Amino acid sequence: MKIFFKLLFVSLLFTSCASKLGKVLKSKDNEYKLKMAEQLYVQKKYNQAQQVFEDIMPFFRGSDKYEDMFYKYTYCAYYQEDYVNAESLFKTFAENFPNSTRVEECDYMRCYCYFKQSPKVDLDQTSTSKTISLMQAFINTHPESSRVKDATEIIDQSHEKLEQKEYKAAQLYFDMGLFKAAAVSFSSLIEDFPDSQKGDEYKLASVKAYFRYAEGSIPEKQPERFEKVITECADFTDRFTDSKYLEEIKNIKFTSENNIKNLQNEQVKEASKR
């Protein structure tokens, strides 16, 4: 019974709100509608406020009230988490009111809407890449803005997300036994994210992948591929002189050199039998 009365109360409340909104929308008094739209906005009833703003905006276009109306209308979309529409509206605001004191804010919020659309790491990261380019454009356009610090942090977070996605793809190749693809992907991580704190970790993963690729190759291809491992080990040592993985790299290099010697000895034995 308690659930029934709660549902009944919610239903009556919704009906009452809808009825009140309907009366506002039917009114011919645009000033009254504007007052009600702003009241609904303050009450955080953004869906209703949005409907009233949308209804009266054509009548106020060109007036001194239009900018503030458009600004609040834009935030109605944002607060309802309609980030696609909000992004477009923030962009339009900056274009329609280029001399407004709110342009910087709307430029930033447009970028932020892309950031809010950024999905989980495993999904397509188009919005994340767009966030980086737009936030950088914001910094370049508004270098003195108090929002530059936030924009920079969002760029860093977005880079980390893209890095994590690329790392997961490389690791998946490795786990599937596609060692050459994994080696190339881990190497790309270093090139794509040169400031990453995990550069030596990615390089080690690449070396391991090249080693496994060589190890699983046919004997005729192994010497050449183990030479590639040795070259990658030397590159690691040159790049990451203080890495905690140096000893592990040294062992991989030593094993690769021994494998080449063993393969050469086998070749000599085979030749002597002929």
pLDDT, residue 203, reads 98
Residue 141 domain-assigned? no
pLDDT, residue 253, reads 97
pLDDT, residue 24, reads 80
Residue 207 domain-assigned? yes
CATH of the domain at 228: 1.25.40.10
Instruction: Give the domain extent around 186.
Output: 177-269
| Chain-centre distance for alpha carbon 64 | 38
Residue 151 domain-assigned? no
DSSP line for 53-112: HHHHHHHHTTSTTHHHHHHHHHHHHHHTT-HHHHHHHHHHHHHH-TT-TTHHHHHHHHHH
Are the C-beta atoms of residues 164 and 121 closer than 8 Å to each other? yes
pLDDT, residue 10, reads 37
Summarised one tens digit per residue, pLDDT across range 198-222 is 999 999 999 999 999 999 999 999 9
Summarised one tens digit per residue, pLDDT across range 142-169 is 999 999 999 999 999 999 999 999 999 9
Residue 154 domain-assigned? no
Residue 88 domain-assigned? no
Number of domains in the chain: 1
Residue 35 domain-assigned? no
pLDDT, residue 22, reads 84
Residues of the chain with pLDDT under 50: 4-16
Residue 189 domain-assigned? yes
d(CA 120, CA 250): 37
pLDDT, residue 4, reads 41
Which of 81, 107, 78 lies closest to 92, judged by CA?
107
